[in-house]
Structure 1
Amino acid sequence: MRIVYGIGPGFRQTAPRRDKVITVGVFDGVHRGHQYILGRVVAEARARGLKSAVVTFSLHPSHLVRRHEKTPHLMSLRHKLHYLAEAGIDICYVLDFNRSLAAMPPEDFVAKILIGRMGMASLYVGEDFVFGRGGRGSVDDLRRFCRRMDFSLHVIKPHRISGGVVSSTVIRSQIRRGDLVAAQKFLGRPVALLGRVIKGDGRGRLLGFPTANILAEHEVLVPDGIYAAWALCGGRAYAAAVYLGTRPTFYAGDKRHIEVFLIGARRNVYGKMMEVRFARRVRPDRRFPDAGRLISQIKKDIQQVRGILSSSSKPRMFASF
């Protein structure tokens, strides 16, 4: 997938021809509702000999327009781009949702950006799609524009699973309360986090369980506790016991840590990107009276993780981020 950042010098002033089937949105989580739309975009583009394209944003628009009520990200831009590419998209335009873009009239966004600079021939959006200055542009506006500006418009109804509408908002709630089964159902894949392996204080090594400390790239995380998971790093998948919490046995504070113990593997993964795909929660985080009892519990946790992952499918296809 080709990635194009911004709408400045990197774009042609005028697209050479109308050769793209486009969808526009935040696509946070790239969930099953998004996947349905992406599938439609890819299918039409291939059938017509055109390019499939996504127009998305480097940050959720709320980070500009509602700074005191920012919508936390389900996944980072890097993570999102990986799954958009996996969906078969040819080009992804990543726009900075800045004041200039936010102030653009709806008609100008369609005429000057989607058609004039990107070469849109066909557009897919959800029923609740809004755009342009103050979010004033609507699907009704697009229906008027498409007749005048000569592009195809496809308005997609909300995707439902078991009677529930699939949405990023619902998935955020599911993940935060630890409902991995429901979130996986809506995502179409396991709940995951992506982050870089950073230096820790070596506490895990002193306890006999060296861990990879992860700096997550997004804000929505599962509740504190021990999890069975698959850790994807350097093009390989590892069975892992994952800890999220404040390490109350040793510290008083509220700083959350993410530590990954690769079971049966001793790899130097420092500085690399790691994706952690959660399988099941083993137990909540808690304080132990001393290090000895914590070590005893960790051994039990790892045994339980082994049992859980023995009946869990090891990821077959994955990429190095």
Structure 2
Amino acid sequence: MQLVRGLHNLQPEHRGCVATIGNFDGVHRGHQAILARLRARAVELGVPSCVVIFEPQPREFFAPEQAPARLTRLREKLRLLAEQGVDRVLCLAFNRRLRELSAADFVHAVLVEGLGVQHLEVGDDFRFGCDRAGDFAFLTRAGVSEGFSVEAATTIEVAGQRVSSSRLRLILAEGDLALAERLLGRPYVISGRVVYGQQLGRQLDAPTANVQLKRRRVPLSGVFVVSVWLEGQRWPAVANIGMRPSVTSDGLPHLEVHLLDYRGDLYGRQLDVIFHAKLRDEQRFATLKALRQAIATDIAAARDYWRASTLLIEPGSK
């Protein structure tokens, strides 16, 4: 999959494609349905498929402190889009200049002059341009005048409700990982590099990998049974994600993972942390002794989970 960062990096060979536009946060089953239709139209027209995304996401630009929790950071999103067979991603920097672009100017600069779009797939509730003045009806009219077709995405429902990033955030916040997996079409995963932390886990008889989140907010918090993909091997594990109320906080969420029976140095490694079940909410413990006991209980519960699990993950298995 080809990544193009910014309109200024578009070249003549990038013109002529079918496209869709959106945040695609989570790349859930609703997004996957749009991408499947995009691929089909690309094959039909004999052109590449292109997904236009924004970084930061618009609500993060307008109100970063109130923006919803990220389901996927950019690196994760790009990997998921590649897995869906997308040919090209155009990532636009969402800044004041883009924010002030009118809907008509956006269509002309991005879709017509930049990409030479032949067909566009969008949700019927999609809004764009300055003050969100552009909508599906506007795009349909623009397509008639500029020579591209526009089609509304099919709504996907699970358990009688529309699949959306907003709904997925609520489900993850409730700790319902089984339903989240149904909406995603896969388990929920957070990926990141292991960085140096406070190294408190060593004092608590449970060394942990501090996984870099690179986001202001996360959609779930608490203690979870997880598994970890590490360089082609899978490890059963237990994780804490959240604000760490029992230790000195920097005001940012942290993800700390203890791999069961792992021996080795994880610093600098890239981990995929796969969430399977919630054990408990985050708690504040008054003493390190109480925290140590809680961690030991969590590890025991994770071991019990894996012993009973049909996944049958052995430490270091392929």
TM-score range, shorter chain: 0.7 to 0.9
Q: Distance in 1 between matches of 2:51 and 2:176?
A: 30
Does the residue aligned with 1:260 lie in a helix, a strand or coil? Answer: strand
2:184 aligned with 1:190, yes or no? Answer: no
1:200 aligns with 2:182: no
Q: How far is the alpha carbon of 1:18 from its aligned partner? A: 5.2
Letter in 2 for 1:11: L
Match of 2:218 among 203, 220, 244: 220
SS at match of 1:216: coil
- AA in 1 matched with 2:10: F
Deviation (angstroms), 1:206? 2.5
1:168-179 alignment runs, 5 A limit: 168-179=165-176
Local SS of the residue matching 1:228:
strand
Q: Using the TM superposition, give the Cα deviation of residue 200 of structure 1 relative to its aligned residue in structure 2, in angstroms.
A: 1.9
Inter-partner Cα distance in structure 2 for 1:16 and 1:256: 42
TM-score by length of 2: 0.88
Tell me by how many angstroms 1:246 deviates. 5.0
Instruction: Quote the Cα distance in structure 2 between the aligned partners of 1:18 and 1:121.
Output: 9
SS at match of 2:179: helix
| Residue 309 to residue 154, structure 1, CA distance change in 2 (3 Å) | farther
Superposition pairs of residues 213-252 of structure 1, within 5 angstroms: 213-218=210-215, 219-224=217-222, 226-245=223-242, 247=244
TM-score, with length taken from structure 1: 0.87
CA contact (8 A) 1:194 1:217 kept: no
Question: 1:60 corresponds to which residue?
Answer: 57
Amino acid paired to 1:222:
L
How large is the RMSD of aligned CA atoms in angstroms?
Answer: 2.5
* AA aligned opposite 1:6: G
Are the equivalent residues in 2 in contact too, given 1:11–1:117 (CA < 8 A)? yes
Aligned to 2:2: 2
- Is 1:154 the counterpart of 2:145? The answer is no
The CA deviation at 1:235 is 3.6
Counterparts of 1:1-321 in structure 2, within 5 Å, are 1-8=1-8, 10-12=9-11, 15-16=12-13, 19-66=16-63, 69-218=66-215, 219-224=217-222, 226-245=223-242, 247=244, 256-287=253-284, 291-292=288-289, 294-310=291-307, 311-313=309-311
Shift in Å, 1:69: 3.5
Deviation sequence 1:237-267 (CA, Å, 0-9, x none): 2211112355555658976542111112223
In 2, Cα distance between the equivalents of 1:217 and 1:273?
13
Q: Provide, for residues 142-168 of structure 1, a one-character-per-residue CA deviation record: whole Å limited to 9, x for no partner.
A: 111111111121111432112101111
Letter in 1 for 2:218: V
| Aligned residues of 2:34 and 2:154 also touching (Cα < 8 A) | no
Matched letter for residue 184 of structure 1: E
Structure 2 residue matching 1:116: 3-state secondary structure = helix
Aligned-partner Cα distance in 1 for 2:198–2:135: 51
The one-letter code of the counterpart of 1:33 is G
Compute the displacement of 1:170 (Å): 1.4
Change (3 A) 1:301 1:107: same
Unaligned runs of 5+ in 1: 316-321
Structure 1 16/81 Cα, relative in aligned 2: closer, same or farther at 3 Å?
Answer: closer
Q: Please tell me the residue identity of whatever aligns with 1:221.
A: P
Residue 22 of structure 1 contacts residue 41 of structure 1 at CA under 8 Å; is this kept in 2?
Answer: yes
Deviates more, 1:296-305 or 1:120-129: 296-305
In the TM superposition, residue 112 of structure 1 has moved relative to its aligned partner by 2.5
SS in structure 2 opposite 1:231? strand
Q: Residue 68 of structure 1: CA displacement? A: 5.9
Secondary structure in structure 2 of the residue aligned to 1:306: helix
* CA contact 2:33–2:154 (8 Å) conserved in 1: no
Counterpart residue number, 1:318: none
Deviation at 1:137, TM superposition (A): 0.7
Quote the offset at 1:217 in angstroms: 2.3
Aligned residue for 2:114, secondary structure, equals coil
Give the deviation of 1:182 after TM superposition. Answer: 2.5
Question: Conserved in 2, the CA contact under 8 Å of 1:75 and 1:217?
Answer: no
Whether contact under 8 Å (2:54, 2:91) holds in the other structure is: yes
Provide the rounded CA distance (Å) in 1 between the counterparts of 2:97 and 2:283: 48
